[in-house]
Structure formats: C-alpha cells, structure tokens
Chain A
Amino acid sequence: MIAGVAGGLADTLGVRDGYVRAAFVTLLTIWGVGGVLYLILWIVTFDKVEDREIDPVEPTRALGLGLAFIGLLFLMSAIGIWPNSVLVLTAGALSFGTAAITDPSSPGPLAALMNQGVERVSKVRLLIGVLLLIGGIVMFSTALGQVFQFGIVFLAVFLTGLGIFIAFGPWVRRLLTDLSAERGERIRQEERAEVAAHLHDSVLQTLALIQRTDDPQRMAILARHQESELRDWLYGTAPLDGVDLVSTALKRAAAKVEDDFQIPVDVVTVGDHRVDERTRAIVAAATEAMVNAAKHSGVERMSLFCEVEDDSLEVYVTDQGRGFDLASVPADRKGITESIRSRVEKVGGVVDIESEPGEGTEVMLKLSL
C-alpha cells in the first residue's frame, strides 16, 4: 500500500497480500519491528519494480508460512522482545481477521454466504476471519476497559460497528460501482440504438437508392443530399422545430432544385435572419429564380449567395449559362421574371436581373430590413 513491499513479498511467497500486511501490522506492535523490517525490505528491493505472475496459493505452503510466523512470535517472546501479550494478540487477531474476510477477487462476504456457487474454502476462511475479528474486538475492549474502567458497552458497540464497516465496506462499495457501471452501459446501448436507427433511415436508404441508379448525375445528387443531411445531424446545425432561418430555408429550397433538376446548387450564406412574411417572399422568389436557371440556362451547376447585414438582406442567384437578351425576352419567360418581381416588390424589395447572351444570368433580390 505504501511502497508495494507487502504486495511484492506476497507475490514472491505465493500468499495473499492481505496476510503479509497483517503480519507487518502485528510485528509493528512488537517495538516497531514490522516498520523496521518494512523499511529494510523496501531499500533492498528498491529498484526491483516488476509485475510478477501471481502463483496460485498452495494451502500447505500457506500453512507452513503461518506456523513459521507464529514460531517467530514465540521466539521473540522467549528472548524477551515482547511488550504486551494483549496488544500483540489483539493486533494480530484484528489484522488477520480483516485480511481473511476481505478478498479483492471475491464478491464480498455477504454474497459469499448467500451464493451457493462460492467454493467451500472461502466459507471456512470467512468463518475463521469473523472469529478472529470477534476475538480481537473482545480482547481489545477488555484491555481498554481495564484501563478506563467505564464505557465498555459503548466501546463494544463502537468496535462492533467498526468491524462490520471493515467487513462489509468493500462489498457495499463494489455493489455501488456495479450499479453505476450498469447504468452507464444501458445509456450507451440506448445511444447506439438511436444512432443505428438514424443511420438505417437515412444513410442505408440512400446507399440502396444509389445502388439502383445507373445515372451518375443522379448518384451525385443523392450522395450530396445525404451528405448535407448527415452533416446537419452530426454537427447539430439543423434548426429547432418552429425556429426557422433564412439560410436554412434557402438551403432547403436549393436541395429541392437539386433533386428536381439534377443540377447542383452551391449555397453560400453570410449572416442570418428569421423567416417572416417579408423574408419568406424573398426565399420564394429565389426559389423561382433557381428553377428558372435550372430550366433555361443549360448549366451544370449554379450559385446561390445570401448576405444578411444589419439593415439589409441580399440574395443572388447566379449561373454561367447561355443567358438572354433582356430586351427580347419571350413572353413565357417574361411571365416568370414578372412573378419574381411582383412577389419581391409586394414586400418592399428590389429585383435586378442582369443577363447577356453567352454570359450567364444573375438575379439579385434586395430587401431593407
């Protein structure tokens, strides 16, 4: 726990490290022998930091080591290094008892008692551990009681509580950890299900559609459409329901034109504004301008640029197509440009159309906010 000496020694001897720590604690009560021993071992093994494979505990070996330890205690007693039998025996009983019932690899004493699957050895160990603990507590309280002559009952209750805490604490903690781990896992699974559902509805469907299409242009449109949708979903740029922005409305309109006419529209927006009655008219007019360009310009792609400044909204629909002579517009086409014009002018906006044969067309829509 401090320098890993006990753990290292336990690995070398093939005993559970709890017992080794208990031995150190017991020896500590004999004029601090345990502490000195710990320091010496620490210095000796200072740079032997390595992970050992833990050998399986052999019962006979553990028994031998235990007897050797008891023999060592007797030897110390015989040659006179012995402070107080009650102190050493109490510390020994408490520390070994704790070591016996707390095992990092078993699910805890209560579970061990209730669970039929737990091997018998650990039940025996548990029994011995509890007996040692009770003995230690009794000895400790008696000794202290003799000193203080009062409060034995109070002390006994306190020490019993402490014993229970030491015995069941690790188990309770493990139970709580398991619970939160389980909850975390459940949340992860729910999220995974949601992602799977979304991908199935969107990406998988589109991939299936692409496989059934022979037209490369159509494929590109499908892929583009899916790309922008996935991007919205991933980065959360999609608007909240009910709150709609001019940029979103224009992108949606452009996507519709792409779908209907198989012509990509490069949408660039700067700044933004809420969709209201007036800006909605601009969006509608821009949509018509895009449809116009898609039908008549003969281009393979077009641009839509929208800039919102503090006091104005400007939208440009630009194509590099065949263009036309404004003075000699055919009647049917004039109708469409007029409908753009009337929409925009109704809400107080301005329309400007620039076009020359062979030079493309640009429709500008401007609205003061």
Chain B
Amino acid sequence: MSIKVYLVDDHRLFLSGVKAELDEEFRIVGTAFDVDTAIEEIRGYRPDVVLVDVHMPDGGGIAVVEGVGETNPDVKFLALSVSDQAEDVIAMIRAGARGYVTKTIEPEDLSDAIRRIHAGDAVFSPRLAGFVLDAFAGAIPSDDDPELDQLTSREKDVLRLIARGFAYKQVARKLNISIKTVETHVSSVLRKLQLSNRHELARWASKRRIV
C-alpha cells in the first residue's frame, strides 16, 4: 500500500509542481493553501506524512504541526521551505516536525525523505545538521537532566558528515557503522533537540545575532 501524503503550501504553483512530482509514487490524499483548512482536512484524512511549508499566513507551518499534533500525534510532518533561517528551522523541529528540507531538494531526494519519515526516521538536510551542531555548541547541561541536552561525540560525527553533504549510506561507511545505527543517532538527536530547554536555544539565537 502506498504512503498517504498530504501537502500544505500557500504557494499554489509550487504546490501543484510537488503534487505532480510525487503523484506516481505516493497517494496524495489532499492539498491545502492555508492553515485552518490544512488542520481540518489532515484530521479527517489521516495521512501518513504531511509536507508542510514554514511561512504561511495565520501561524504558518508551526500552527499546522502543533494543531494536528494535539489530536493526531501519529501523523508525521516533513517541513519543506525556502527559508534557511536557523530560527525557522529549529522552531519547526521543536514544534514536532520529523525533518526539514529546503525547496531546492531534488525530487528523488524528496521521495526518499518521505519514505524515511514514514518509516519513523528523522530527516536532516545538511543545513539542518549545521544548525543543530550550532545550537548544541556550548550548550550548558541543564540542572534537571544533565545528560539530556548534550550530544554524544558519535552523534556530532554523524551530524558533521551530513552537513558535509554525505548521504546516510556514505555516513555509515565512513564511520564503519550500519545505516540503521546512523538512523538511530539522527533520531536521538532530533529527540534531544525537541526536548532541550527553551532557555538554551534562546541564548544560542541571541549569541548568533551578536556575532
């Protein structure tokens, strides 16, 4: 059975382009141009994966992810955006998106990302990997759970290789580990990012602006 995909983007031309590209391989169950329609229809259609734009009127992709997440936590989100602003990217991931890719992504890479998300993995574009490394660089351990906010050195290695443009398969070979292990590392980084406390990321963001 093919994966049920739902598309949300306020840019109609882009939406129809992506729909045409994905139509063969996936079952596109619906599309929406705005946040309210998207939340309502996703709750009704229960797609497996939702491709969601970040910048839209009325709260944007974050509103969609959070709105659906409350009622249907099993729906998985992949953020797809022209924006590569660190704040946008991190905010989407923290809202609950399982991955973030930019709109310049090749069609086959996008299909691959959707399959990966559906299988329960996280999808990190090189740029997202860079942001995450940046976000955790110099992060101090929080008082309540010192382990939670730190990345292991292996996780950092994986992120660095992704940031350098390597695919998961190549990362696995370079580090002499299996693809499954790479996926596990990436998923745990995603979880840490979603759970890390707001204070540190805010500190990081302000630091970036001062530099």
Number of residue pairs A-B, CB distance < 8 angstroms: 46
Asked if A313 lies at the interface with its beta carbon under 8 angstroms from chain B, I say no
Give the contact stretch, choosing among B66-74, B112-120, B160-168, B194-202: B160-168
A235 touches B85 (CB 8 A): yes
Asked if B179 lies at the interface with its beta carbon under 8 angstroms from chain A, I say no
In the complex, what residues of A have CB within 8 A of residue B211's CB? 245, 272
Residue picked from B126, B127, B130, B165, most chain A C-beta under 10 Å? B165
Known: A266-B126, A268-B126, A268-B127. A362 touches B164 (CB 8 A): yes
State how many angstroms separate the Cβ of A297 from the closest Cβ of chain B: 12
**Selected contact of A305 from candidates B84, B85, B104, B164, CB within 8 Å:** B164
**Selected contact of A266 from candidates B82, B134, B160, B165, CB within 8 Å:** B165
In the complex, what residues of B have CB within 8 A of residue A266's CB? 126-127, 165
Known: A268-B126, A362-B164. A307 touches B82 (CB 8 A): no
Taking A302-B165, A305-B164 as known contacts, 7 extra A-B pairs with beta carbons closer than 8 A to each other, sorted by chain A number, are A268-B126, A268-B129, A303-B126, A303-B165, A316-B164, A320-B165, A362-B164
Asked if A309 lies at the interface with its beta carbon under 8 angstroms from chain B, I say yes
Contact with B along A198-224 (1 / 0, CB 8 A): 000000000000000000000000001
Number of interface residues of A (CB under 8 A): 21
B165 touches A318 (CB 8 A): yes
B130 touches A268 (CB 8 A): yes
Jot down 12 A-B pairs with beta carbons below 8 A, ordered by A.
A224-B104, A266-B127, A268-B126, A268-B130, A269-B130, A270-B133, A271-B137, A272-B211, A303-B164, A305-B163, A309-B137, A318-B164
Contact with B along A212-246 (1 / 0, CB 8 A): 00000000000010010001000100000000010
Residue picked from A224, A245, A268, A309, most chain B C-beta under 10 Å? A268
Number of interface residues of B (CB under 8 A): 17
- Tell me the bound Cα distance from A227 to B164 in angstroms: 22
CB proximity to B under 8 Å, residues A225-284: 227, 231, 235, 245, 264, 266, 268-272
**Selected contact of A270 from candidates B82, B85, B130, B165, CB within 8 Å:** B130
CB proximity to B under 8 Å, residues A27-47: none
**Selected contact of A318 from candidates B85, B133, B137, B166, CB within 8 Å:** B166
Q: Kindly list the 4 A-B residue pairs having the minimum CB-CB distance in the complex, ordered from nearest.
A: A303-B165, A268-B130, A305-B164, A270-B133
